[in-house]
Amino acid sequence: ERRRSGGELARRIERAIVKHVARGPQRGAAIAIDAGDGRVHLLVRTDRATTRIVALCSPQLRERVDRALAHARFVLAASGTRLEVAG
């Protein structure tokens, strides 16, 4: 299941996190992502080698966001980014 494409939402989350990490020494950010039928707000905090994310979304999007974050975590781990997620 993890090897399958995570969908557009997972790709958007991956891109947002990669951008955040690439910016360098900033510690935190708040990012809003359009999920098509709603918005997902990511609170991102980076400490050394770990990036932590808290995702805020409507209950209707919860399952989709959980799957997208799991996929993003798996893909980003392959590139060396350690991601901890709370939803």
The span from the CA of 34 to the CA of 23, in Å, is: 21
Q: Name which of 49, 48, 45, 40 is nearest 13 in CA terms.
A: 40
Unique residue bearing structure tokens 């995570």: 6
Q: What is the pTM of this model?
A: 0.77
How high is the pLDDT of residue 2? 47
How high is the pLDDT of residue 80? 80
pLDDT tens digits for range 16-46: 887 877 776 667 889 999 988 899 999 988 8
pLDDT tens digits for range 39-73: 999 998 887 777 888 999 999 999 989 888 888 88
How high is the pLDDT of residue 58? 94
How high is the pLDDT of residue 56? 93
